[in-house]
Amino acid sequence: MKIFVTGATGLIGSVLVRRLIKEKHEVVVLQRKSADTREIDDLKLSFHLGDVADPGSLKGAMDGCDVVYHMAGLVAQWSGYKEALYRINTLGVRYVVEAALAQGVKKVVVASSTAAIGGTEHPEILDENFLFNLRHLPYAHSKWLGEKEALAVAKKGIEVVIVNPATTFGPGDKHLNAGRTILNARDGKIFGFPPGGNSFVDVGDVVDGIIAAMEKGRNRERYILANEVLSYKTLLEVIAKIHGQLPPKLRLPKFFLVMGGWGKDIASRCLFKGEPYPSREAIDMSIRFMYCSSNKAKRELGYNPKVPMEDSIQMAYDWYVKKDFQQSMVTRI
C-alpha cells in the first residue's frame, strides 16, 4: 500500500512511519524545509517538500496514495502562538483532507488530541461525547476546530477518522511535548505539584491505535487513545522515582497558580517579549482534570495499550540521557 504521512519528524509520526516501513508499505512523507529528519533518515522513504499550512504545496503530493495519516500539528500552550496554532492545527487539517479528496485518497486518519475533548474542575471520566469546554485555550480550541474542518470535508466524499491521543511519552520527543516535565524535574525546576490530572499513554500504544483506526475506524468518528489517568502529583512521583529524587511535597493552590500565570504573562509580554513558562494557558490546564476513557477505541478498534507509564517515561528519560538532550536544543516551530 502507498501511504502519505504528515508530521513524520514528530514523536508520534516518526514511530508511525518506522512501523509502516517495517510492515512493507511504500511511504511518502511531507517535509518542511526546516524539518529535522534525523530520527527517520535511516528509513527508505520518499519525501515531498511542502507545508500543511500551504495548500499549494500539497498539490500532487498524494498522487497514487491509498491512504493518509495526518499527524502534523503544533503543540504550544500560550496565546502568543494563537495565529500559528490556528494556521497549522485548524486550517492545516482542512488543506490536507481537501488535498486527499482531490487526489483520490480513500481514507484519512487525523490526529487530534484529548485537549479537544475538554476538562473538568473535579475528577470525572470523559469520553468522545463530552461537550468541549476549553475554547479559551488556543491549543485545545485549534485542535477542536481542526476536527470540525476534517468532518466538513468528509461530507464531500472522503472517509475520515479522528484519533485523540492523550499526553504521549516515549523516546524521541525532541519537541518536549510531554518530555519537558521529565527534564524540568531533572533540572530541579519543579518545587510543587498542581491540583489537576491528565491522561497519559506511550507512543507505541498510540501508534497501535492509529493503525487500528485506519483499518477499523468508522467514518466521521473520533477515538480517544489513552492508557493511565494520573494526578500530576502521581506523575511527578513516578518521574522522581526514575530520577532517583524525592518527589515534590507542596501542593500548589489554584489561586497561587492562576495569579502567578497572569503575572508571568504580563511580564513576558511587556518586559521579556517571549513565551512565559509556565504560561497562563498551561497553568489553566494544570488545575483541571482531563481523565479520558478509551473504551470506545477498545471496543471498536481492538485498542489494547500495553506499556505502563513508568516504563514509557523511563524509556523517554533514557533517550534524553543517550542524546545528552538539553532544553535549549528545542525549537517550537
pLDDT tens, residue by residue, 147-168: 999 999 999 999 999 999 999 9
Q: What's the rounded Cα separation, in Å, for the pair 214 and 210?
A: 6
On the question of pLDDT at 222 being above 90, the answer is yes
Taking residues 43-58, report their average pLDDT: 97
Q: pLDDT tens digits for 105-142?
A: 999 999 999 999 999 999 999 999 999 999 999 999 99
Q: Are strands 67-70 and 46-49 parallel, antiparallel or unpaired?
A: unpaired
pLDDT at residue number 275 = 74
Which amino acid would we find at residue 273?
K
Please write down the HEC assignment for all residues of the chain: CEEEEECCCCHHHHHHHHHHHHCCCEEEEEECCCCCCCCCCCCCCEEEECCCCCHHHHCCCCCCCCEEEECCCCCCCCHHHHHHHHHHHHHHHHHHHHHHHHCCCCEEEEECCHHHCCCECCCCEECCCCCCCCCCCHHHHHHHHHHHHHHHHHCCCCEEEEEEECEEECCCCCCCCCCHHHHHHHCCCCCEECCCEEEEEEHHHHHHHHHHHHHHCCCCCEEEECCEEEEHHHHHHHHHHHHCCCCCCEECCHHHHHHHHHHHHHHHHHHHCCCCCCCHHHHHHHCCECEECCHHHHHHHCCCCCCCHHHHHHHHHHHHHHHCCCHHHCCCC
Nearest-10 crossing angle of helices 203-216, 11-22: 60
On the question of pLDDT at 259 being above 80, the answer is no
CATH assignment of 2-171+199-230+293-308, among 2.60.40.10, 3.20.20.100, 3.40.50.720, 2.160.20.10: 3.40.50.720
Q: What's the rounded Cα separation, in Å, for the pair 190 and 192?
A: 6
Q: pLDDT tens digits for 51-103?
A: 999 999 999 999 999 999 999 999 998 888 999 999 999 999 999 999 999 99
Q: pLDDT tens digits for 4-29?
A: 999 999 999 999 999 999 999 999 99
On the question of pLDDT at 262 being above 70, the answer is no
pLDDT band at 265 (very low <50, low <70, confident <90, very high): low
- Which tops the pLDDT comparison, 325 or 327? 325
Q: What percent of the chain has pLDDT over 70?
A: 93
On the question of pLDDT at 261 being above 80, the answer is no
On the question of pLDDT at 241 being above 90, the answer is yes
